[in-house]
Structure 1
Amino acid sequence: MKFLVVSFDGLRPDLLSRRLTPNIGRLQSLGMTLSRHRTVYPSETRAAFPSLVTGATSNIHGMVGNKFVDRAVVPNRYIDTADADLLRRLDLTSDGRLMTAPTLGEILYRAGKSLAVLATNTPGTTRLFNHKAEDLGHVRFSGHFREACTPDALLARIEAEVGALPPAPEKGAPDFEGQVWITSAFLDVVWPTIRPDVTILSYGEPDTTSHFHGTASATTRSVIELCDAQFGRILDWWEAEGQSDGVQLVILSDHGHITAHTRVSVGCELRSAGFNPGTAPAAGVDVVIVPGQVGALYLAERSPANLDRLVEVLTERPWCGPIFTAPRNTVEGLAAGSFASSLVFADHERAPDVYFSFKADDSIDAFEMSGGTFYDNDRVPGLGVHGGLHPKELAAVGLAAGSAFRGDGLVSEVPSGICDIAPTILHLLGLAIPASMTGRVLSEVLGNAETAVAEDLRIEHETLETGLNAFRQELRRVHVAGTIYLDGATAAATSIVSQEALEVAE
């Protein structure tokens, strides 16, 4: 039995349709759709894909966001995990502790099995799928970036047979060439030559195009169609050859998108409240604001008083959504009014002092897609963002097909998540599941006697609340057979906005 995991970065499940994604639709009619599939928090790519390959949340694997501050060194340093070379250096200098949980590549290697990765995401994301691939003798190819590719000899063969590694597209331009290249590399060279036990084929779109053109714009739809067509080539191969060779297909996305509608400046807001913020550690900076849609704040002076003051300022801002700090108890964070970060499985030693999501709502955008939010970047309103806890950010594509799974177009209503894929694969390969994995085996989708129906699984919903003064927040979670999934969170605050922040935003 072998596995091919195909990912579409940032694809919202409600964009799937027979017209836009006919090939994914073909597979839906053959397999089982996971209709309540979810990602992790932060709902960012380089937190979610490490969760895919470790079967664990960020408090276990340590990739706490696309960017973070490393406090394990003096002076503290700012880490951008898009940089593949930096990630390699960090892993080597930390004695292999870049990821603080065993990955699928390492687990398969110890069992004498192989993992191949082909991806058109950033070079750092590509590395994180199997960050030790060169040490393990595994295949890892980027559709654009040589620094994320290994081994060189096989890359040379692919370039000879498929074509030269295409250059990365200009900023904001849809990535068409890369998706075609990695599909051809798998079909024409990697599979015929190696037949990996597990392959991850990651299309980096429609995420990039959603960020620059809007989640359901004509441009984004065109790149979704292109990715679906490339997947159609995979599906044709699977129906003609792969299925009879025992290949199981898993289709997913790492997060959804919502639409940015109102720009604010967190830096200006904190400055007006008496802080001296910066985007990286530096002399005189008392709070680092890590750029991104999920708010990550690192205090230079980590006293309880400073933490309380920072959170109180956030609770007074109308753009601020749910807030998390290190746990004081099972529900409340250390700062009054905050949730415990352990509730969203974000309490790693690398985590910021304060996580917050921008306040989101169910507004309808220009493309008739629901989900809107405040944001803090230099782009115009109307474009796609993610990172927070709106249900449309958390919702992800999930689909399984093959002899190991139930099929014929069935739909599972049981909540599932990105952390469940690795333990399910290991279970079906007959390999031990490490205690570090927080995901569960998706027994309800298995096609043999161990299949569980929804009635066999204990499913419990919970709603948690906390707040400070006029600020109230609510977190919704669902428990399935001991595994917890995030269903969303909301918050409401008073309306204090500094004039400086409004002028910057305008």
Structure 2
Amino acid sequence: MLSPRFIIVSFDGLRPDLVSQELTPNLFRLQSLGVTLSKHRTIYPSETRSAFPSLVTGATTSRHGMVGNKYIDRSVSPPRYIDTADAVLLRELDLESGGRLMSAPTLGEILAVSGKSLAVLATNTPGTTRFFHHKAEDFGHVRLSGHFREACTPEEVLAEVETRVGLLPPELPKLEPDKAGQDWITSTFLDVVWPNHRPDVTILSYGEPDVTSHFHGTGAEETLRIIAHCDRQFGRVLDWWEAEGRAGGVQLVAASDHGHITGHTRVSVIDCLQDAGFHPGTVPAPGVDVVVVPGQVGALYLADPSDEQISRLVRAITSQPWCGPIFTRAKDEVQGIAPGSFAQHLVFADHVRAPDVSFSFRADDSIDPFGLAGGTFYDNDRRSGLGVHGGLHPKELAAVGIVAGSAFPASGAASTVPSGICDFAPTILHLLEIDRPSEMNGRALHELFQDPAKADAEIRRETVEAGFGRFRQVLRRVQVGSTTYVESGMAEG
């Protein structure tokens, strides 16, 4: 019997409720050929460079350590600001730390130890592309960016692709949807990587519709057009899979790393903290008592992270109408050390790199101009009406999950058992008969190896609450066996 191979095709930022016969006929076709994970979610924070590390480690941020797209590294003196979009910086950090950039082993490393390979083709930022397999050059594995040479390895494979497929497309302005990059990585997989290298696992990551949603809006015409374009490129892969790959034992997975909601009201966290008597900044510096890391999920690092200062900071934040769920280090099983806050471990965000205070902007179920549910306060320099993510609204946490192939015998079925982005890696390792490392807290999706309608999973739901003064927050989680998923977090008051 042939050892199975796997292709994970990711659509960055695609909401599952945008998958339809009209807009994404090829994803819709895949649903008819396999199993749709109808209760599939990402992790917190619902940011790309936290979620994709969870994809390849099978672990939450508390285990792999990528606590946000950007974070403050306090392992050095003075502390430094880290933007994980920079692939060269990530390589330097990994070498500097003795290979501990991520504090959990990744799929590429695990496969390499077993004599197997992981190939990556991605049009995301150079840092995201590296995160899919940050040690690819150490094992001679293929990692190709659709735009950035610094994220590509080996050089001879890139040269082979540029001869056969065409030169690496230049990076486009953010306002211009990226069609060329998606075309290039698709052709590269079909014409070079698969026929010449036959990786055991391939990650094919379309960096859209995320960027276009950020700059045009989640339901804007430009965004819908790039979703349809990515679906057409995926259709080329699906045609190949139906003609050749499926019979060769290839298992096909379609996924996204998070959803989007719409920013409706702009605020300034720095201005509010200044009004509360703090001296905030966006990077560590003399005189800065709290670093406000830019992003849709609030990450606050104090120069003096004492219980008293953390509580003072939480009081200032929770008095604002834009403050959503808020987290600090644990006081007990539910509460953080600051009154009104949740313990970070409830959302699996308790890592040494975690901010002293993290929060989501307050979100709601308002309908945006495109008819999509989910709105929020936000803090960036863009106009209202654009897509954002990072927080705990159900539409941010909802992610695409579809599987098809001989390992998943049902066709056209939907699984209602909760699942998450951390579950793909342990499922792949189970099917390859490779032991999973102890750091993985995702689970193998055993219910998909049979008829999902007959799945007998033990599912338990829980709701926890916290508050201080008028501020109240609610967190909902669901447990399947010993694995817990965050469903939503909301706040009011």
**TM-score in same-fold range (> 0.5):** yes
CA deviations on 1:57-83 (whole Å, 9 max, x unpaired) are 001000000000000000000000000
- Counterpart residue identity of residue 488, structure 1: S
User: Secondary structure of 1:346's match?
Assistant: coil
How is 1:234-383 mapped onto 2 (pairs within 5 angstroms)? 234-383=237-386
1:461 maps to 461
Give 1:246's aligned amino acid: G
Note the C-alpha offset of 1:409.
0.3
Deviation, structure 1 residue 374: 0.2
Quote the offset at 1:171 in angstroms: 2.2
Aligned residues: 490
- Partner secondary structure for residue 90 of structure 2: helix
Rounded to whole Å, the distance in 2 between the matches of 1:406 and 1:27 is 13
Q: Please state how far the C-alpha of 1:305 moved relative to its aligned partner.
A: 1.1
Question: Which letter maps to 2:104?
Answer: A
How is 1:83-482 mapped onto 2 (pairs within 5 angstroms)? Answer: 83-447=86-450, 456-482=456-482
Distance 1:480 1:467 in 2: 28
SS in 1 for 2:375: strand
CA distance in 1, matches of 2:242, 2:331: 53
Q: Choose which of 2, 5, 29 in structure 2 pairs with 1:2.
A: 5
**8 A contact 1:28–1:399 mirrored in 2:** yes
Percent identity over the alignment?
A: 68
Trace 1:68-79 onto structure 2 (pairs within 5 A): 68-79=71-82
Match of 2:18 in 1: 15
The Cα shift of 1:454 comes to 5.9
Separation in 1 of the partners of 2:63 and 2:23?
37
Aligned partners of 1:296, 1:273: CA distance in 2, in Å? Answer: 17
Amino acid at match of 1:261: H
Q: Which amino acid aligns with 1:431?
A: I
Deviations 1:176-225 (A, max 9, x none): 10000000000000000010000000000000000000001100000001
CA displacement, residues 394-445 of structure 1 (integer Å, 9 cap, x when unaligned): 0000000000003320001110000000000000001101111000010111
Whole-Å separation in 2 of the counterparts to 1:406 and 1:361: 39
TM-score by length of 1: 0.96
Encode CA deviations 1:304-331: one digit per residue, 9 max, x unaligned.
1111100011111110000000111110
Name the SS for the 2:435 alignment partner: coil
Shift of 1:269: 0.2
1:59 paired with 2:59, answer no
Aligned-pair distance for 1:455?
Answer: 5.3
Give the TM-score normalised by the residue count of structure 2: 0.99
Amino acid at match of 1:245: G
Aligned to 1:31: 34
- What is the RMSD of the two structures over their aligned residues, measured on CA atoms? 0.8
- Is contact 2:118-2:141 (8 Å) kept? yes
The one-letter code matched in structure 2 to 1:141 is L
Quick check: 2:414–2:452 contact (8 Å CA) kept in 1? no
The letter of the residue matching 1:485 is: Y
CA shift for structure 1 position 452: 7.0
Mind listing any 5+ residue stretches in structure 2 that lack a counterpart? none
Q: For 2:267 and 2:99, how far apart are their aligned partners in 1?
A: 39
Q: Deviations over 1:459-485 (max 9, x none)?
A: 001000011111110000000011000
Secondary structure of the corresponding residue to residue 205 of structure 2:
strand
Q: Give, in whole Å, the separation in 1 of the partners of 2:346 and 2:424.
A: 21
1:153 deviates by 0.3
Whether the 8 Å contact between 1:414 and 1:454 is mirrored in structure 2 is no
Cα distance, 1:334 vs structure 2: 1.1
* CA–CA separation in structure 2 for the residues paired with 1:209 and 1:286: 35
1:359-392 deviation digits (Å, cap 9, x = unpaired): 0000000000000000000000000000000000
**C-alpha separation in 2, matches of 1:3 and 1:304:** 47
Which amino acid letter does the alignment assign opposite residue 163 of structure 1? G
For 1:35 and 1:283, locate their aligned partners in 2 and report how far apart those are by CA, in whole Å. Answer: 49
State the alpha-carbon separation in 2 of the partners of residues 455 and 247 from structure 1: 24
Letter in 1 for 2:286: A
Distance 1:13 1:453 in 2: 21
Q: Answer yes or no: is the 8 Å Cα contact 1:13–1:395 preserved in 2.
A: yes
Structure 2 CA distance for aligned equivalents of residues 455 and 382 of structure 1? 41
Q: Secondary structure at the match of 1:243?
A: helix
1:375 aligned partner, one-letter code: Y
Q: CA deviation at 1:53?
A: 0.2
SS in 1 for 2:215: helix
> Take 1:474 and 1:197, find their aligned partners in 2: how far apart are those partners?
42
> Partners of 1:485 and 1:263 in 2: how far apart?
30
User: Which amino acid is the alignment partner of residue 449 of structure 2?
Assistant: L
**Aligned position for 1:502:** none
Q: Deviations over 1:159-180 (max 9, x none)?
A: 0000000001112211110000
Aligned residue type for 1:221: L
CA distances 1:134-159 after superposition (whole Å, capped 9, x unpaired):
00111000000000000000100100
Whole-angstrom CA distance in 2 between matches of 1:351 and 1:59: 8
What is the alpha-carbon distance in structure 2 between the residues aligned to residue 44 and residue 179 of structure 1? 21
Q: Post-superposition, which runs of at least 4 consecutive aligned residues in structure 1 deviate over 2 A?
A: 451-455
Distance 2:411 2:138 in 1: 41
User: How many Å apart are 1:492 and its aligned residue?
Assistant: 1.0
Secondary structure of the structure 1 residue equivalent to 2:8: strand
